[in-house]
Amino acid sequence: MGKNKKSVLPMNWLLLGFILSLYVMGFILYPALPDMVPSHWN
């Protein structure tokens, strides 16, 4: 059981790093977004 737990830990860190990088990218690109997003409802 100890081997399985060690093999899962790096995957968790990889996923947490990926999610954190998405938040950082969103924070960096937020000023480039338009004030109002165009949409059409008809």
Cα–Cα distance, 11 to 17 (Å, whole number): 10
The rounded distance, in Å, linking the Cα atoms of 11 and 22 is: 17
Question: In this structure, which amino acid lies at residue 42?
Answer: N
Q: What is the mean pLDDT of residues 14-39?
A: 91
pLDDT above 90 for 24:
yes
For range 26-36, the mean pLDDT? 90
Q: What's the pLDDT score for residue 3?
A: 56
Would the pLDDT of 2 be above 90? Answer: no
pLDDT of residue 23: 97
Query: Considering the chain, what is the average pLDDT of its residues?
Result: 82
Q: Given a cut of 70, is residue 4 above it in pLDDT?
A: no
